Structure formats: C-alpha cells, structure tokens
Amino acid sequence: MTDSAFHVFTVRGRPVEFRPSQFGGGLFAVERGAFPASPTGYRSLAGHFPQFGPGNPEDLSVDFLESLAEAYDKDRGALRTRLHRIARGGDFISISMAAVEALDHGFFAPPEEHIALWQEAYRLFCLIDTLPRFQPQPYSAAWTPEYCAKALAEQRALLRFVRQLATGSFPPAPHKLFGAKAYLSLPPKPEGEPGFILPGIASEFAFDLSTPTDSDDGETDDAEATGAAGEDAGAPRDRGGHAQPPQATLAVQLNLFQ
C-alpha cells in the first residue's frame, strides 16, 4: 500500500493520519504534540467501516472524528479525578498503575494538560519512592522479596525519567509505555521540548494520607455533625468543612516534593 492511500485530517487543529488496512484502518499521530484521538498516538477503526477490507477516508465524518476527541477528553478527565483520590486508599499496585497511566497519557495530551499529568505522575512516584505503605510487600508466593525489589526499582527508574522530562530532555523510556514509545518514534520538535517545574511545596499537592473511613464515603459521624465532640471539633477547617490535618502532618506530606 502506498502513501497515496493515506489521508491526513485536521482534528482540533492537529494532524491525524488515516491509514487503511485489511481490517479497516486506524488513525495515527504524525508529529509530536497533542493527538486528539487517543493517548498512544494510535486509534484503531476496526469495525467502523461498512465493508470488510481497507476503509475509505470519505466514511470518516468531521462529527465522528470530533466524537473520538470528546471520548478521549472524558477519559483524561476521569483519570485526573482518580489521580487526586487514589493515594487515600491505594496500595502499591493501584498507585503504580495510576502513576504509569498518568505518565503515558501526558505525551499526547493537550498542551494545557500534559504537564499536569506528568506532575501528578511525579507526585505518585514520590509516594512509592518514599513511603513503605506504598511499596510492594512479599505477602504471597508471587510477590517474592526479589520480585518486590525489582518492581520498586522499576518505579524509581520512572521517577528519574519524569525528572529528566522536566528538564526538557526526552531519553528512552525505562518501561513499556505505549504513548512514550510512539511519541519518541516521531521526529523531534525543531524548537525542542519545553521543560516544566516539578511539584514543590504547594497547597494543591497536599493530600490526606489517612485511612478511609465510613465518613469518607459520604456519611457524617456524630462528632462532625455537632461540631462539639472529638479532637477535630476546634481544628481549622477547609472550605468543605473538613478538619485540616495538623501542621506536622502537612509537613510530612509536602516534604515529599522538596
């Protein structure tokens, strides 16, 4: 199949190349930067076309391509919401999976989001690197001490990788990241990649590491309802009415990002 069979669409101002195949075809990123169809630089269109075999780009409407971009918007939004909450009840598996997902999604995300995703990934990698609670433990036959050490080393390698991204340097990814692999396979930007600031001591990166309770699920206990009982009755509260953690706790949380 020749290049003449390919077709480049413009979706939200970004080039999206359609390449036909025997199963219909797919959409591909052709340059570094935002890709509105998926976080991996590729979106399969298998099953979309009415006939078997190579698809016809004329069957891809503007509305259909925009619907793919909207679906990807929702996926990123759900991911960012989950990233803000996961540290409260997560363990090594859930935290590490979320961190890797945020890191990988950052490559082809829109400019206003990709750095925020990498910052969230950095935040979670710091938790894994620093706190035993979020590190793998040899609690089963599959999770041997050797395997736990290997898994932790992989996460720490990704933490170093994010630190390099922050400098504007894009080295080979030390993990099987589909988005990173696709992004780095494309020609570098002539102007280079911009660096960014890693999260420091900022209130928006403070979070509650306490164990979730029934009241976290929407139920209110008696002490919180009356405001007259319990240790938090006279504590300063945030805009949502929740007692703020002691300053010592905040210091521990924020020092993770120094």
The answer as to whether 188 is a domain residue is yes
Q: Within this chain, do residues 173 and 193 fall inside the same structural domain, yes or no?
A: yes
Q: Within this chain, do residues 116 and 190 fall inside the same structural domain, yes or no?
A: yes
The answer as to whether 246 is a domain residue is yes
Q: Within this chain, do residues 127 and 154 fall inside the same structural domain, yes or no?
A: yes
pLDDT of 179 higher than 90: yes
Q: Which residues contact 198 (CB under 8 A, 6 or more apart)?
A: 119, 122, 162, 163, 166, 257
pLDDT of 232 higher than 50: no
The answer as to whether 194 is a domain residue is yes
Look at residue 231 in the predicted model and tell me its pLDDT: 40
The answer as to whether 241 is a domain residue is yes
| Most distant CA pair in the chain, distance | 75
Q: Average pLDDT of 99-121?
A: 95
Task: In whole angstroms, give the CA distance from residue 138 to residue 104.
Answer: 27
Q: Within this chain, do residues 189 and 243 fall inside the same structural domain, yes or no?
A: no
pLDDT of 187 higher than 90: yes
Domain range for 240: 200-213+236-258
Q: Within this chain, do residues 122 and 161 fall inside the same structural domain, yes or no?
A: yes
Q: Within this chain, do residues 175 and 100 fall inside the same structural domain, yes or no?
A: yes
**Residue whose structure tokens are 């703020």:** 244
pLDDT of 218 higher than 60: no
Mean pLDDT taken over the chain: 80
Q: Average pLDDT of 33-52?
A: 91
Task: In whole angstroms, give the CA distance from residue 128 to residue 189.
Answer: 32
Task: Return the DSSP state at 239.
Answer: T
Q: Within this chain, do residues 102 and 180 fall inside the same structural domain, yes or no?
A: yes
Q: Average pLDDT of 50-61?
A: 86
The answer as to whether 41 is a domain residue is no
Pull the structure tokens for residue 213.
Answer: 């309770």
Contacts 24+ apart (CB under 8 A), 70-79: 72/36, 72/37, 72/38, 72/39, 75/39, 76/39, 76/105, 76/109, 76/113, 76/117, 79/105, 79/117
The answer as to whether 56 is a domain residue is no
Task: In whole angstroms, give the CA distance from residue 199 to residue 249.
Answer: 18
- The total number of structural domains in the chain stands at 2
The answer as to whether 173 is a domain residue is yes
Q: Identify the weakest region by mean pLDDT among 138-142, 149-153, 233-237.
A: 233-237
Q: Average pLDDT of 40-69?
A: 90
Look at residue 205 in the predicted model and tell me its pLDDT: 41
pLDDT of 200 higher than 80: no
pLDDT of 234 higher than 90: no
> What are the pLDDT digits (tens) for 125-144?
999 999 999 999 998 888 99
Pair type for strands 7-11 and 14-21: antiparallel
Q: Within this chain, do residues 180 and 204 fall inside the same structural domain, yes or no?
A: no
Judge if pTM exceeds 0.85: no
Would you give the distance in Å from CA 101 to the centre of its chain? 4
Task: In whole angstroms, give the CA distance from residue 114 to residue 105.
Answer: 7
> What are the pLDDT digits (tens) for 159-174?
999 999 999 999 888 7
Q: Within this chain, do residues 168 and 205 fall inside the same structural domain, yes or no?
A: no
Q: Average pLDDT of 36-41?
A: 96
Q: Look at 93 and 210; give whichever has higher pLDDT.
A: 93
Q: Within this chain, do residues 253 and 172 fall inside the same structural domain, yes or no?
A: no
